[in-house]
A = this chain, B = another copy of it.
Amino acid sequence: MRAEIITIGDEILIGQIVDSNSAFIGKALSKIGVSVKHITSVGDDQNVILSALKIANSRVDFVVLTGGLGPTKDDITKKTLATYFNDILVRNDKVLAHIESLWKTYIKQPLLQVNKDQALVLSTAQILINDHGSAPGMWIEKDGVVFVSLPGVPFEMKAIVDNVLVPRILEKFKLPFILHRTLLTQGMGESMIAELISDWESVLDSEIKLAYLPNLGRVRLRLSAQGPVKNVVEEKVQLAIDQLLPLIQDIFVGFEEDDAIEVVIGKTLIVRGQTLSLAESCTGGAIAERLTSFPGSSKYFTGSLVSYATRVKHDVLGVDKEILIQAGVVSEAVAKEMALKAKDFFKTDYAISTTGNAGPTTSEGRVTVGTVCMAIAGPQGVSVFSFQFGNNRERVISKAVNKAFELLYHELLKNASKEV
């Protein structure tokens, strides 16, 4: 089954928002064996939407639209769909009752005509109830092509996809098994890796697709394959991986599972009953933010001291003034002290520290932009590291955050083997 995702809204085209809806839907569909071939974004313009529908209709079997279902005049998706399918809008009493109950519980304001009109749906549509909002999803079939219209508000859309759309697709269609396996590597550029594995790649099963995904100091190798029988696909990909691994053993870090590395770290710490704290300078809270974006982080994450001003490193965290002056704020010596002090300060098993110059200028410290020092204090002692992450602020911070997780992950692995 080939799919196209159409996201609707001028705000996407002018870059006022980043369209993350299509990535969410793409992931959800890929996982169950629907092959997303196109993502298209168009503005709030009836003719352009009609033309996008026509093109999608001609090239895929399944179309998911998001956006333009709100109650205001710029929301034209429903009307446009009615035009496209030569259908009319009719009131759905179940949806109206749901809207009335939402208004009674949360909004506590009189229900306006435009809100009631949210219950108008295409007469030929099946309704996908939106638990979190007033705009229902719709499922419309025409000449063997399915069109699904979803609200553009991300958490409303996500709940409908997970709870209603995916189960319905699985119930209605017999889908192939699609497998993506991603290998994380570090320490070598993509062209060197390509050279290293070229013999393997040249005889790779033609039904397996290989992609190189370089990103912030790491290259991910993704193998993708699909077929009707799960076992056959899995065995084929596993065989390719078994042949690949010996070639990349020096740079192989692990498999990218559904879990992000920070989730794997969290699970490991929870299982071991251990805790983590942070002393963040140049990462400015970004490590804490990533950890706490996942539920359950309070089970192992105690806290972070974001010591952005130098005096906080001394006054609050207690880093020795002599070390700050002699080694400089951005130094391995200060990173080491910060990690050790944070471990004491928060009374945790592990602590990570970061200090660096994320840029854009070198005025503040004496080190060049992009220099980052980090330390990891743990039950076995403390390790310090220095890096040069280039001259782009956003990139320096992101690379530092990724590196911190990578270092801690290796530290946890090392300590596990020591404990054995």
Contact = CB atoms under 8 A, between A and B. Distances in A.
B395 A155 contact: yes
A420 to B, nearest CB: 29
Interface of A: 9-20, 22-28, 30, 36-44, 48, 52, 55, 70-75, 107, 109, 112, 114-115, 132, 153, 155, 180, 182, 189-195, 201, 209-214, 222, 224, 278, 280, 283-289, 291-293, 295, 297-298, 301-309, 312, 315-316, 345-347, 358-361, 364, 390, 392-395, 397
Contacts of A309: 298, 301-303, 346
Contact of A37 (B43, B112, B212, B346): B43
Contacts of A286: 285, 289, 292-293
A19 B346 CA distance: 38
B295 A284 contact: no
B36 A26 contact: no
Contact of A303 (B295, B312, B361, B390): B312
Count of identical protomers in the assembly: 2
Nearest to A111: B191
Max chain B Cβ within 10 angstroms of own Cβ: one of A14, A28, A190, A345 = A14
17 contacts: A12-B23, A12-B26, A13-B36, A15-B24, A18-B18, A19-B19, A37-B43, A37-B48, A39-B39, A44-B211, A70-B212, A278-B306, A284-B288, A285-B306, A289-B289, A292-B397, A316-B345
Contacts of A52: 38
Contacts of A48: 37-38
B284 A394 contact: no
B112 A192 contact: yes
Contacts of A303: 305-309, 312, 316
Contacts of A43: 37
A14 B41 contact: no
Given A15-B27, A189-B107, A213-B16, A346 B312 contact: yes
Max chain B Cβ within 10 angstroms of own Cβ: one of A38, A211, A212, A283 = A211
Contact of A74 (B212, B280, B392): B212
A394 B295 CA distance: 10
Contacts of A72: 190-191, 193-194, 212
A327 to B, nearest CB: 19
A384 to B, nearest CB: 22
